[in-house]
C-alpha cells in the first residue's frame, strides 16, 4: 500500500489534518512544523492520491492528450513541446494513444480536468461529460463544437507563395503533399496553395500538383521522383510536411539537381529539425513552441474559466528563411 497523509502524521507526530495543510502550503501551519512534515513526506516517498483529491476537490490538475497517430514526427515534436510547456504549470499531462473514443473513455474515468486532441479526421460531436475539450485542427465555417487552435494553413501557403513569387521570381511552382479528402489540415494546405497561386496570377500546371497519398518520408520521395521524370519541371516546390520534404530533397539530389540552384524548396511545418536536414530547409508554419504554448494556455484557460474567448484561435505562420530557396534562373 502506498503512503498516505495518515502515515506521515504518525511519523511526524502531528494530526493528519495538519499534514494536509502543510502539504498544501497553508499559512495556517508553523513554518518549522511545515518543513518537518515536508521532510518526512519526502523521505517516505509520499505521492498524493488523485482519486481522493478529486473526490473532495473536484480537480485533478491533469490534462489528457489524445494521440492515436503516434508515428508522425511533427506531432511527436508538438507533443514534446506541449509536455514541456505543461510542466511549467501546476498541471501534468498524460497521453492516450488508443483510438479516440477509447481514449476519451479512459480520460473520463480518470476525470482529467481537460483534454487536448488532434483533429485529423475525426468527425465528432463529442459527449465529453463536460470535460473541457480543446482541439488542434482546422476551424470550419460551420459550428465548432469545441475551441480550436488553428495553425492557419491557408495563410501559411499564402506566405510561401508570396515569398517564392514576389521575392524570388518563381512562377512554376509545384506542390507535393497529401490530397486526403478526410484530413482537414491537408485539405487546407492544398486549398491554400491553389488560392495563393490564383491570387498571384500564377497558373497551376496540373502535373505540378502531386498527391503523396501519405505523410511519410518515402511518400515525398516517390512523389518528387515521379514529378521530375517529366521534362517540364517546376523551379520551386512546396513540400507538404517535414517528412515529405525530407523525401523530396533526396529525390531531387538523386536526379543530380542542385538545391537551390536548380530548384528551390520550401517546406511546410516550422520545427527546429528543419535546420538539421542535409540542406537547411526554408520553411513555413507556426513555430512549434508557439503552437504548444498557445494550446497549453488555452486549455488551462478553458479549464479554469469554463470558456475561451475567442473560441477559435488562428495562429500566425512564420517564414524561416534558410538555405533551400534561391532566385529563379532566367
Residues lying near DNA in the complex (CB under 7 A) are found at 1-2, 4-6, 13-18, 20-21, 23-24, 28-30, 32-34, 46-49, 52-53, 55-57
Contact range with a second copy by CB under 8 A, out of 17-25, 50-58, 173-181, 286-294: 50-58
Contact status: 83 vs a second copy (CB under 8 A): yes
Contact status: 102 vs a second copy (CB under 8 A): yes
Q: Which does 83 bind (CB under 5 to 8 A by kind): DNA, a second copy, none?
A: a second copy
> CA-CA distance, 305 to 223, in Å (whole number)?
47
Q: Which does 277 bind (CB under 5 to 8 A by kind): a second copy, DNA, none?
A: a second copy
**Dihedral angle over CA of 237, 327, 228, 215, nearest 10:** -20
Contact range with a second copy by CB under 8 A, out of 89-97, 137-145, 180-188, 296-304: 89-97
Distances (CA, A) of 253 to 41, 179, 217, 232: 60, 24, 15, 17
- Quick check: 182 and 218 in contact, CB under 8 A? no
Buried b / exposed e along 304-318 (16+ C-beta atoms within 10 A): eeeebeeeebbbebe
Contact status: 43 vs a second copy (CB under 8 A): no
Residue 239 carries which DSSP code?
E
Q: Which of 57, 56, 46 is nearest to 2 (CA)?
A: 46
Q: Which does 258 bind (CB under 5 to 8 A by kind): DNA, a second copy, none?
A: none
> CA-CA distance, 194 to 184, in Å (whole number)?
15
For binding to a second copy (CB under 8 A), which residues are involved?
1-3, 45, 47-52, 54-55, 62, 70-71, 73, 76-77, 79-80, 83, 87, 92-98, 102, 105-106, 108-111, 127, 129-130, 217-218, 221, 246, 250, 253-254, 276-278
Amino acid at each position: 500500500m502506498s503512503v498516505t497523509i495518515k502515515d506521515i502524521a504518525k511519523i511526524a507526530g502531528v494530526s493528519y489534518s495538519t499534514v494536509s495543510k502543510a502539504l498544501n502550503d497553508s499559512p495556517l501551519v508553523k513554518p518549522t512544523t511545515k518543513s518537518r512534515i515536508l521532510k518526512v513526506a519526502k523521505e517516505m516517498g509520499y505521492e498524493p492520491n488523485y482519486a481522493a483529491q478529486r473526490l473532495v476537490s473536484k480537480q485533478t490538475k491533469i490534462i489528457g492528450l489524445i494521440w492515436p497517430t503516434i508515428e508522425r514526427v511533427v506531432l511527436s515534436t508538438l507533443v514534446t513541446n506541449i509536455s514541456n510547456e505543461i510542466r511549467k504549470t501546476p498541471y501534468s499531462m498524460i497521453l492516450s494513444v488508443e483510438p479516440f473514443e477509447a481514449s476519451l473513455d479512459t480520460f473520463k474515468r480518470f476525470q482529467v480536468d481537460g483534454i487536448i486532441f488532434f483533429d485529423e479526421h475525426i468527425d465528432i460531436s463529442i459527449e465529453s461529460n463536460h470535460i473541457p475539450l480543446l482541439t488542434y485542427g482546422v476551424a470550419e465555417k460551420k459550428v465548432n463544437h469545441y475551441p480550436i487552435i488553428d495553425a492557419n494553413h491557408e495563410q501559411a501557403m499564402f506566405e510561401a507563395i508570396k515569398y517564392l513569387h514576389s521575392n524570388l521570381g518563381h512562377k512554376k511552382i509545384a506542390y507535393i503533399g497529401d490530397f486526403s479528402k478526410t484530413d482537414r489540415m491537408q485539405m487546407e494546405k492544398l486549398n491554400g496553395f491553389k488560392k495563393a497561386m490564383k491570387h498571384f496570377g500564377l497558373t497551376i500546371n496540373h502535373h505540378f500538383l502531386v498527391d503523396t497519398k501519405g505523410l511519410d518520408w518515402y511518400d515525398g520521395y516517390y512523389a518528387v521522383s515521379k514529378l521530375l521524370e517529366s521534362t517540364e519541371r517546376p523551379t520551386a516546390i512546396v513540400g507538404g510536411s517535414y517528412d515529405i520534404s525530407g523525401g523530396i530533397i533526396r529525390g531531387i539530389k538523386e536526379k543530380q539537381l542542385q538545391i537551390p540552384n536548380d530548384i528551390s524548396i520550401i517546406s511546410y511545418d516550422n520545427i527546429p529539425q528543419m535546420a538539421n536536414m542535409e540542406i537547411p530547409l526554408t520553411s513555413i508554419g507556426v513555430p512549434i513552441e508557439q503552437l504548444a504554448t498557445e494550446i497549453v494556455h488555452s486549455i488551462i484557460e478553458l479549464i479554469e474559466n469554463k470558456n475561451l474567448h475567442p473560441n477559435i484561435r488562428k495562429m500566425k505562420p512564420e517564414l524561416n528563411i534558410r538555405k533551400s530557396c534561391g532566385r529563379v534562373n532566367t
